[in-house]
C-alpha cells in the first residue's frame, strides 16, 4: 500500500483525486504528477505525462534570471531549447505579458511527444497565439536564421553513470531522453555552446541549467563569459553565458 507524503496528498486533493483510494491501487513510486497529469510551476498548472520531465521547483529561478536580464526592452525574443512541457518558456512569456513587454518565443524539443504536451499548455495558458512557435528540432538543427535576446536551455545533464543512483520515482518514470546527458553530463550543453552564438543578439544571453557537478565551465571560457549561480538549495545549478567580445590585437 502506497503511503503518500503530506505534499503528495495536497497535490492529489487539489486536482480532485482521493489519496486514500489511490493508496491501494497505485504503484509504489509513481510521481503524483503523473497520476494527476498536472504539475505546478511558478504558481501555474501545467499538463504533464510520462513523455515530459516534471518541471522542478529549482528551475523556477531560471525564469527570474531571464526577467532580470531584460533592461528597458519593449520587446523580447526568446527560445526555450528542450522545452518539455514548456514550463520555462511559457512562464517567461506570461510574465513578460504581465509586464506589458511584447514577445516572440520559440519552444523546441527533439521529442514530438513532448511537443504535443507543450502545445496543450500553450492552448490552456494562452489560447490561440501567434507569438509562440513550436519547433521539433535537435538543438538548433531546424531553426531558421533568427537571433534571440534570451535562450533558455534545461537540457538533459545527468552524467550517464549517475542515472542508476536516481530515485525510483525519477529513473523508472521520467523519460531518460530528458535526463541522460552522456558521460560527463555535458554532451548536449557542449554542442549547444558550440552552436548558440549565431542565434543570440549582440547583447543576448544564454541561460543554462546544469548539474551540481558542473562547477567548472573553463573549457568554454575562451568564447563565453560564464557566470555561475546556485539554486535555492545552495547547489551549483545555472550558467549565465554571454558571448565573449574579443578585441583585435593592439599593435
Ligand atoms: C531536463 S528536460 C527539461 C524539460 C523542461 N525544459 C523543463 O525544464 O521542465 C530536457 C528536455 O530536452 C529534450 N531534449 C533531449 N535531447 C534534445 C536535443 N538533442 N535537442 C532538443 N531537445 C532535446 C528532452 O526531450 C527533454 O524534454
The predicted pLDDT at position 245 comes to: 80
- In the structure, what pLDDT confidence band is assigned to residue 248 with cuts at 50, 70 and 90? confident
Three-state DSSP at 7 gives helix
- pLDDT, mean of residues 191-210: 97
Tens-digit pLDDT profile for residues 150-170:
999 999 999 999 999 999 999
Query: In percent, how much of the chain has pLDDT > 70?
Result: 98
The predicted pLDDT at position 71 comes to: 85
* pLDDT above 60 (res 236): yes
Q: Decide if 148 contacts 78 (C-beta within 8 A).
A: yes
Site to substitute for ligand 1 among 119, 134, 155, most atoms within 8 A of C-beta:
155
CA angle (130 as vertex; 154, 63 as ends), nearest 5: 30
* pLDDT above 60 (res 80): yes
Torsion of CA 155, 158, 164, 168, to 10 degrees: -50
Q: How far is the CA of 249 from the centre of ligand 1 (A)?
A: 40
Tens-digit pLDDT profile for residues 170-194:
999 999 999 999 999 999 999 999 9
Comparing CA positions, the residue from 215, 177, 202 lying closest to residue 51 is 177
Q: Whose CA is nearest to atom 26 of ligand 1?
A: 178
Q: How far is the CA of 157 from the centre of ligand 1 (A)?
A: 10
- In the structure, what pLDDT confidence band is assigned to residue 72 with cuts at 50, 70 and 90? confident
Distance, in Å, from the CA atom of 2 to the CA atom of 21, rounded to the nearest integer, reads 10
- pLDDT, mean of residues 78-97: 98
The predicted pLDDT at position 134 comes to: 98
- In the structure, what pLDDT confidence band is assigned to residue 250 with cuts at 50, 70 and 90? low
Query: In percent, how much of the chain has pLDDT > 90?
Result: 96
Q: Enumerate residues 6+ apart whose C-beta is below 8 A from 100.
A: none
Tens-digit pLDDT profile for residues 110-147:
999 999 999 999 999 999 999 999 999 999 999 999 99
Q: Whose CA is nearest to atom 27 of ligand 1?
A: 84
Q: Among the atoms of ligand 1, which is closest to the Cα of residue 139?
A: 20
Site to substitute for ligand 1 among 48, 57, 84, 85, most atoms within 8 A of C-beta:
84
* pLDDT above 80 (res 246): no
Q: CA–CA distance from 119 to each of 48, 90, 128, 153, 196 (Å)?
A: 11, 10, 10, 18, 24
Q: How far is the CA of 137 from the centre of ligand 1 (A)?
A: 10
Residues near ligand 1 with C-beta < 6 Å? 52-53, 55, 59, 81-85, 87-88, 109-111, 114, 138-139, 154-156, 177-178, 188
Q: Among the atoms of ligand 1, which is closest to the Cα of residue 191?
A: 19
Tens-digit pLDDT profile for residues 216-225:
999 999 999 9
DSSP state of 158: B
* pLDDT above 70 (res 251): no
Amino acid at each position: 500500500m502506497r503511503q503518500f507524503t503530506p505534499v503528495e496528498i495536497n497535490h492529489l486533493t487539489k486536482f480532485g483525486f482521493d489519496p486514500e483510494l489511490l493508496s491501494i491501487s497505485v504503484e509504489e513510486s509513481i510521481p503524483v504528477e503523473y497520476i494527476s497529469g498536472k504539475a505546478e510551476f511558478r504558481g501555474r498548472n501545467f499538463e504533464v505525462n510520462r513523455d515530459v520531465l516534471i518541471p522542478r521547483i529549482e528551475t523556477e529561478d531560471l525564469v527570474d534570471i531571464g526577467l532580470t536580464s531584460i533592461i528597458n526592452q519593449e520587446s523580447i525574443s526568446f527560445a526555450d531549447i528542450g522545452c518539455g512541457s514548456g514550463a520555462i518558456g511559457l512562464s517567461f512569456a506570461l510574465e513578460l505579458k504581465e509586464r506589458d513587454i511584447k514577445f516572440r518565443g520559440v519552444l523546441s524539443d527533439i521529442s514530438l511527444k513532448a511537443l504535443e504536451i507543450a502545445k496543450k499548455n500553450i492552448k490552456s495558458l494562452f489560447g490561440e497565439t501567434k507569438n509562440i512557435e513550436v519547433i521539433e528540432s535537435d538543438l538548433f538543427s531546424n531553426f531558421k536564421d533568427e537571433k534571440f535576446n534570451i535562450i533558455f536551455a534545461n537540457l538533459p545533464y545527468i552524467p550517464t553513470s549517475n542515472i542508476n543512483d536516481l530515485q525510483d520515482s525519477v529513473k523508472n518514470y521520467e523519460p531518460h531522453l530528458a535526463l541522460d546527458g552522456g558521460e560527463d553530463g555535458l554532451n548536449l550543453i557542449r554542442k549547444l555552446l558550440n552552436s548558440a552564438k549565431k542565434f543570440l543578439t549582440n547583447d543576448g544571453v544564454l541561460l543554462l541549467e546544469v548539474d551540481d557537478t558542473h562547477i567548472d565551465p573553463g573549457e568554454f571560457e575562451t568564447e563565453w563569459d560564464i557566470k555561475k549561480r546556485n539554486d535555492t538549495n545552495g547547489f551549483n545549478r545555472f550558467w549565465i553565458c554571454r558571448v565573449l567580445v574579443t578585441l583585435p590585437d593592439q599593435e
